[in-house]
Amino acid sequence: MKTAWLSAALLGAFYSLMGQTQFAPLPYFSRPAEANAITRDGSKAVGYSYSGTASAGNAACWWTSAGIAAVPGQQDWYDTSAYGISADGSVIVGEGNSTLGTQFAWYWTPQAGQLQQVPVPGGPYSASARGVTGDGKVVVGVATFRLPDNSFQSKAFRWDRSQAAAVLLPQYTPPPNAAPNSAATGVSDDGRRVVGVVLVSLGAYAAARWDDGGNPALFSQGGDTIQAVTANAISPDGSLVVGSAVNTVTGKGMAYKWTSPGGGVALDA
């Protein structure tokens, strides 16, 4: 499930390339290759690349010094993408569609040799695994559920692989006119701090963290000049988080860094 902002970014990149004579137009420009995560030693990156067939769509893959290769064991999946990898590269997580057409969160280990579904409770309409701890034992992501009125609600999840099923993390309570929504994007190496986004008002999201599975805490408070909107990555010890923010004085978007003693600061000049 690719997001609208990603599609816009891809289109912008395509037209930028078209304006440079040293580049030729890319076939299937809406389905390019993209690397999303990398091992600690930098020897393996994971992401997705167009598989070459319309029926298969994207294929989760890895890049090493030997080149690009599809993640093994995708024969029962299509349109797969990898978003997270453990420190040593032995556990990979992502999203993909089953032969039944449902999007699932998946994980891969060399022992199994194939994509396996992350056990998200509640029968979600779709799910995506977005991050994994350095040791590969905890997986985080987002599951989307269809509500009785045919609207959709997203919920962040955390799965300790020693447990039978993932746990849906508590939602942030928005105003009465907005239904709670959340997504997890990263996790510290000890699995205790999960970061992501929560809906705080109708159509507005904010970066948040869940510590030890508790209620989400926002990275920014109401009076802060720098309002953290997304949490895109977290350091192994959980003390540093980066993402996108808005400067409430200038109205401009910017990158930010959050530290547990110092709070959020802009990375832009």
Q: Which two tokens stand for residue 144?
A: 């989307």
Report the number of distinct structural domains present in the chain: 1
* Model pLDDT for residues 193-252, shown as the tens digit of each residue: 999 999 998 889 999 999 999 999 999 988 899 999 999 999 999 999 999 999 999 999
Cα 108 versus chain centre, distance: 16
Report how far residue 224's alpha carbon sits from residue 256's, in angstroms, rounded to the nearest whole number.
Answer: 13
C-alpha distances in Å from residue 146, one per residue of 106, 118, 126, 127, 159: 20, 18, 9, 12, 21
Residue 53 pLDDT: 63
Measured over the CA atoms of residue 208, residue 210, residue 215 and residue 221, the dihedral's sign is negative
Query: Around 263, how many Cα atoms within 13 Å sit in the side-chain half-sphere?
Result: 8
Domain region containing 27? 1-32
Let me know if residue 237 belongs to a domain.
Answer: no
Let me know if residue 22 belongs to a domain.
Answer: yes
Let me know if residue 75 belongs to a domain.
Answer: no
Task: Give the rounded percent of residues in the chain with a pLDDT score beyond 90.
Answer: 70
pTM, two decimals, is 0.86
User: Burial, 114: exposed, middle or buried (Cβ in 10 Å; 0-12, 13-18, 19+)?
Assistant: middle
Closest CA to 262 of 223, 229, 222, 220: 220
Let me know if residue 27 belongs to a domain.
Answer: yes
Contact 227, 205 (CB under 8 A): no
The pLDDT-based confidence of 55 (bands split at 50, 70, 90) is: low
Q: Which of 13-17, 195-199, 242-246, 257-261 has the least mean pLDDT?
A: 13-17
Let me know if residue 13 belongs to a domain.
Answer: yes
Let me know if residue 9 belongs to a domain.
Answer: yes
Report how far residue 185's alpha carbon sits from residue 193's, in angstroms, rounded to the nearest whole number.
Answer: 11
Q: Which two tokens stand for residue 219?
A: 């990275």
Let me know if residue 41 belongs to a domain.
Answer: no
Let me know if residue 116 belongs to a domain.
Answer: no
